[in-house]
Structure 1
Amino acid sequence: MRRSLIVFSLVVLCPFPSSAQDPNDAPAAQPEPWYSPKKYNPVKLIKHSAKSANDQLASNGDLEAKLTRQLQVQEILPQDKSLQDACSSFRELTECVASLRVSHTLQIEFSCLKWDVTGAKPKPVSDSCAGPSGGKAMGLTRSIDLLKSDTDAKSQARDALRRAREDIKDASD
């Protein structure tokens, strides 16, 4: 009885030579996964705007001309200044136009505001401008609060960004 139990356990526990898979018999391609990695790619859901404000203006010369003229008529941008020069070192065009609007509305020097928002020191900057702490760029709201502390910075920034988007939309039509 003992011998038959050992033989039986060896038969059950030992792999059969016929059940081993030959490498030549392996399937040629991987089966389709149950999910579709191409269909649900979350990276595609995030908008990537790698273009700076100057790149956006340079790629669409008509937008630059219309927006420059529109801002000059509203006396937000001086007649002798181009929008590309004003928007150099800004990451987004809306941020640049909003900064121009805020500097006009609140009578803040644009070069000081530009320095705080972009973190890059513009060439013609007055000595009265205090640059951003640590040389890092800050948001428009924080910059307004720093340069003009007696105003409601949050509502001013929100209104300027809304009107900047409208200006860009009007100029692109």
Structure 2
Amino acid sequence: MASVNRVLLLALLSLIVVLAVVTAQAESIEIRHFDNPVTEQRYQSLTASLRCPKCQNQAIDDSDSPIAGDMRDRVYLLLQDGRSDREVLDYMVERFGDYVLYNPRLEGRTMLLWGMPALLVVVGGLFVILLVRSRRKASVRALSDEERARLDALTNRERTP
């Protein structure tokens, strides 16, 4: 009788755990209804291109953070209101700052950010060119008589006239 009670208790606990997991997953699923498939595609594109302010490098469409959920709601409402993608992005930047954009805009503040990779490539290329030229000049120089005599002495050869 005691083993039957244990089995029933174990089955009941397993059922509770399964229900808790299913309920938690069901709560995280958001269902959005769109009248137009283009608007749905815009929603998916915008939520994938906006970064969650709380999460480290995670888009709001992947984040379970409450603030990401609020941002998804706001994007949905702005799109349903007929706003353009630019207006939605402007709203999010105004509200949360430039951090929410994965690709920062090209502005005076971000010129260094956008120009630094090209600048580093140019500087690196110039460095390589100067290094190759200096090595080429050093290797072309002929040996002096003193250097030739020292080289001959080191290699134990006699100098032939």
TM bucket normalised to smaller: under 0.3
TM-score by length of 1: 0.26
Q: Name the one with the larger helix percent.
A: 2
Larger Rg: 2
Per chain length, whose mean CA-contact separation is higher, i.e. which structure has more relative contact order (CA < 8 Å, sep 6+)? Answer: 1
Using the size of structure 2 for normalisation, the TM-score is 0.27
